[in-house]
């Protein structure tokens, strides 16, 4: 019997909605076909955005969408993606499959997509192969309200009013595909480039993301903070609002990461063991950040995370198209629980990527669309957004996976929303054990509990022939007791409870 203790009267930290963010890159079929089909497509669309995908994404309340990359961002020249579509420059997408990028999806289309999703905007600028002037003019084009060369150009291209850029990334993976830089060199470049990311609208400041570490590169974190985090009266947070962290979960080595759908129990536990490593990364990078920023003014932005497996057989290796199983659902569930539990420092996170690439919410095949198990987890966790983490702990949890890939059988997080409704999300990582759980509250005797569950075999997935195999179902076996709850959580499952 596992026991979850919840002190619902003690709020620990705010869970920024942006922890549930998404990432969409010009990669494979994420933007083209996945999100954008063009106005002349037979696939139903509004201003080129496919209606089925947008409607599904609205249900998970996408809070923010990062674009245009990824590695693509440091090769992207925004002026190629504005103006009449037939005149837009065609280029080779060298990073991703060597296909022709016709730039039919550019700045105007991105803001239209975010408008339809009702989400915040997160643009990633080009430091690797772009100039300061180019970055500065992009910000002017998007946000300046008045007479200026770039604002005039925006108006000439059909958008008189400025848009709102909520978040701006100054370079992506500058330690790798974004320029192979060393931390102090990048740090100095960052200071220079970010100077020209002007805030033209005092009421809507652009929050800036500094390129942070790859996985456990603690030296990068240290040196970049040393160079860029420099509080002064005129730069309240120094020069930055977030430091990014990228970490992907791959069971095998880079050359053979393993199949997304055919894997052993050992590979299952290995994957979850590696997903749980996120907690150590957040804590250790967070500890370095604490030394520079004890008041936690800047956030850790885990703006690329998720599973990365071998591509589906027969698909373009540069398109990173993979299926999505209950194993992915468990990875999403434990990672989001970790983010909630560390929401004092983790302020932004974007799973990679939203459609048809890596750990997606949605897969498409021309006019067909399916929701992945990961989508259902995001749906089950949506009430954590904009809530407050409350004090919680779990006891009596066994482990599985052996000495090599040991994982706790259960893992959880708990929040309370503005109306006082609690959300408790629990993952059972075990492939065999059903777990009886006893929840006790400090004061609350629950009046009403709504619960749902996602559960199936470890490799169960949704296919275009059978899109509804793995779906969120209602979970009725919850017993209310005085100041508590009791339920049994089946193996390989995720449960979400809304408690009043
Ligand atoms: O998400 C795929 C790629 O992974 C991104 O383009 C890059 O930033 C990372 O290496």
Q: Is the CB of 352 under 6 A from ligand 1?
A: yes
Find the 112 Cα to ligand 1 centroid distance in Å.
24
- Give the pLDDT score at 204: 86
Task: Tell me the C-alpha distance between 422 and 174, whole Å.
Answer: 40
Cα–Cα distance list, 485 to 153, 304, 415, 436, 440 (Å): 60, 36, 16, 11, 7
pTM higher than 0.95? yes
Find the 306 Cα to ligand 1 centroid distance in Å.
11
- Give the pLDDT score at 449: 83
Q: Is the CB of 25 under 6 A from ligand 1?
A: yes
Q: Is the CB of 354 under 6 A from ligand 1?
A: no
Task: Give the CA dihedral 214, 310, 31, 462, nearest 10 degrees.
Answer: -120
Find the 475 Cα to ligand 1 centroid distance in Å.
37
Q: Is the pLDDT of residue 460 over 80?
A: yes
Q: Does residue 273 contact residue 406 with C-beta atoms inside 8 Å?
A: yes
Find the 321 Cα to ligand 1 centroid distance in Å.
13
> How many Å from the N-terminal Cα to the C-terminal Cα in the chain?
24
Residue of minimum CA distance from atom 7 in ligand 1: 70
- Looking at the CA of residue 96, tell me the nearest atom of ligand 1: 6
Q: Is the pLDDT of residue 235 over 70?
A: no
Catalytic residues: 173, 304
Residue listed under structure tokens 């974007």: 350
Residue 441 neighbours by CB under 8 Å, 6+ apart? 6, 7, 8, 483, 484
Task: Give the CA dihedral 247, 178, 170, 14, nearest 10 degrees.
Answer: 0
Q: Which two tokens stand for residue 50?
A: 């496919």
Q: Is the pLDDT of residue 381 over 90?
A: yes
Task: Tell me the C-alpha distance between 482 and 38, whole Å.
Answer: 56
If one counts every other C-beta atom within 10 angstroms of the C-beta of residue 456, the result is 18
Phi, psi values for residue 101, rounded to 5°: -100, 115
pLDDT interval class at 237 (50, 70, 90): low
Give alpha helix (H) positions in 105-169: 107-117, 132-143, 149-156
Q: Is the CB of 69 under 6 A from ligand 1?
A: yes
496 has which bridge partners? Answer: 425, 452
Task: Tell me the C-alpha distance between 120 and 206, whole Å.
Answer: 11
Task: Tell me the C-alpha distance between 18 and 389, whole Å.
Answer: 14
Helices 149-156 and 132-143 sit at what angle, rounded to 10 degrees? 60
Furthest C-alpha separation in the chain: 68
Residue 403 neighbours by CB under 8 Å, 6+ apart? none
Q: Is the CB of 71 under 6 A from ligand 1?
A: yes
Site to substitute for ligand 1 among 22, 34, 69, most atoms within 8 A of C-beta: 69
- pLDDT (tens digit per residue) in 94-126: 899 999 999 999 999 999 999 999 999 999 999
- pLDDT (tens digit per residue) in 263-320: 999 999 999 999 999 999 999 999 999 999 999 999 999 999 999 999 999 999 999 9
- Give the pLDDT score at 202: 86
- Looking at the CA of residue 172, tell me the nearest atom of ligand 1: 8
Q: Which two tokens stand for residue 112?
A: 């239209």
- Give the pLDDT score at 163: 98
Across the range 230-243, mean pLDDT stands at 71
Q: Is the pLDDT of residue 238 over 70?
A: no
Give alpha helix (H) positions in 33-131: 51-58, 107-117
Residue of minimum CA distance from atom 4 in ligand 1: 70
- Give the pLDDT score at 297: 92
Judged by average pLDDT, the poorest of 362-371, 445-454, 483-492 is 445-454
Q: Is the pLDDT of residue 65 over 90?
A: yes
Q: Is the pLDDT of residue 335 over 90?
A: yes
Residue of minimum CA distance from atom 9 in ligand 1: 70
Across the range 12-40, mean pLDDT stands at 98
- Give the pLDDT score at 234: 53
Residue of minimum CA distance from atom 2 in ligand 1: 70
- Looking at the CA of residue 72, tell me the nearest atom of ligand 1: 6
Query: DSSP letter at 310?
Result: P
Residue of minimum CA distance from atom 6 in ligand 1: 70
- pLDDT (tens digit per residue) in 401-443: 999 999 999 999 999 999 999 999 999 999 999 999 999 999 9
- 155 SS3 class: helix
Q: Does residue 168 contact residue 68 with C-beta atoms inside 8 Å?
A: no
Q: Which two tokens stand for residue 81?
A: 């993606």
- Looking at the CA of residue 353, tell me the nearest atom of ligand 1: 1
Q: Is the pLDDT of residue 370 over 60?
A: yes
Q: Is the CB of 484 under 6 A from ligand 1?
A: no
- Looking at the CA of residue 73, tell me the nearest atom of ligand 1: 6
Site to substitute for ligand 1 among 352, 355, 360, most atoms within 8 A of C-beta: 352
Q: Is the pLDDT of residue 231 over 60?
A: yes
Task: Tell me the C-alpha distance between 428 and 410, whole Å.
Answer: 5
Q: Is the CB of 8 under 6 A from ligand 1?
A: no
Question: In whole numbers, what is the pLDDT of the chain averaged over residues?
Answer: 96
Residue of minimum CA distance from atom 3 in ligand 1: 70
- pLDDT (tens digit per residue) in 146-168: 999 999 999 999 999 999 999 99
26: closest CA among 88, 75, 84, 79?
75
pLDDT interval class at 463 (50, 70, 90): very high
Find the 27 Cα to ligand 1 centroid distance in Å.
9
Find the 38 Cα to ligand 1 centroid distance in Å.
25
Q: Is the CB of 172 under 6 A from ligand 1?
A: yes
Across the range 478-489, mean pLDDT stands at 96
Of the chain, the percentage scoring pLDDT greater than 70 comes to 98
Cis peptide before 68 (omega within 30 of 0): yes
Q: Is the pLDDT of residue 137 over 70?
A: yes
pLDDT interval class at 448 (50, 70, 90): confident
- Give the pLDDT score at 230: 76
Cα–Cα distance list, 149 to 108, 141, 318, 464 (Å): 17, 8, 38, 48
Q: Is the CB of 173 under 6 A from ligand 1?
A: yes
Find the 271 Cα to ligand 1 centroid distance in Å.
19
């Amino acid at each position: 019997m596992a026991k979850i203790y919840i002190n619902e009267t003690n709020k620990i930290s705010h869970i920024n909605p942006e922890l549930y963010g998404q990432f969409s890159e010009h990669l494979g079929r994420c933007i083209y076909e996945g999100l954008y089909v063009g106005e002349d497509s037979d696939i139903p669309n509004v201003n080129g955005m496919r209606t089925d995908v947008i409607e599904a994404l609205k249900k998970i309340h996408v809070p923010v969408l990062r674009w245009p990359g990824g590695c693509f961002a440091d090769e992207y020249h925004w002026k190629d993606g504005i103006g009449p579509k037939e005149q837009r420059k065609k280029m080779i997408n060298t990073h991703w499959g060597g296909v022709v990028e016709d730039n039919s999806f550019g700045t105007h289309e991105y803001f239209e997509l975010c408008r339809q999703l009702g989400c915040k905007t997160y643009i990633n600028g080009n430091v690797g192969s772009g100039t300061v002037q180019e970055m500065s003019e992009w910000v002017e084009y998007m946000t300046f309200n008045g007479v200026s060369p770039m604002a005039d150009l925006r108006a000439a291209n059909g958008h008189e009013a400025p848009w709102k850029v909520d978040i701006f990334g100054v370079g992506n993976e500058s330690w790798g595909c974004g320029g192979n830089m060393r931390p102090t060199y990048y740090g100095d470049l960052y200071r220079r480039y970010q100077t020209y990311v002007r805030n033209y609208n005092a009421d809507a400041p652009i929050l800036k993301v500094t390129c942070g570490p790859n996985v456990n590169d603690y030296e990068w974190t240290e040196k970049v903070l040393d160079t860029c985090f420099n509080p002064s009266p005129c730069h309240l947070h120094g020069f930055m609002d977030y430091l990014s962290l990228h970490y992907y979960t791959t069971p095998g080595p880079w050359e053979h990461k393993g199949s997304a759908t055919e894997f052993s129990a050992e590979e299952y536990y290995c994957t979850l063991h590696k997903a749980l490593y996120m907690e150590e990364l957040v804590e250790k990078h967070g500890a370095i950040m604490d030394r520079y920023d004890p008041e936690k003014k800047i956030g850790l932005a885990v703006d690329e995370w998720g599973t990365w497996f071998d591509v589906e057989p027969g698909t373009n290796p540069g398109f990173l198209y993979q299926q999505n199983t209950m194993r992915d659902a468990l990875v999403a569930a434990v990672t989001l629980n970790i983010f909630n539990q560390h929401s004092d420092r983790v302020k932004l996170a974007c799973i990679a990527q939203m459609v048809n690439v890596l750990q997606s919410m949605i897969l498409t095949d021309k006019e067909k669309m399916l929701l992945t198990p990961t989508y259902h987890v995001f749906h089950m966790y949506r009430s954590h957004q904009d809530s407050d983490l409350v004090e919680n702990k779990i006891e009596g949890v066994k482990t599985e996976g052996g000495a090599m890939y040991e994982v706790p059988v259960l893992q959880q997080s708990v929040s309370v929303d503005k109306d006082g409704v609690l959300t408790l999300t629990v993952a059972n990582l075990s492939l065999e054990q059903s777990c009886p759980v006893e929840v006790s509250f400090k004061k609350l005797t629950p009046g009403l509990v709504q619960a749902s569950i996602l559960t199936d075999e470890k490799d169960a997935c949704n296919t275009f022939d059978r899109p509804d195999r793995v779906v969120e179902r209602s979970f009725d076996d919850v017993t209310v007791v005085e100041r508590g709850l009791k339920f049994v959580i089946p193996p390989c499952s995720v449960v979400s409870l809304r408690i009043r």
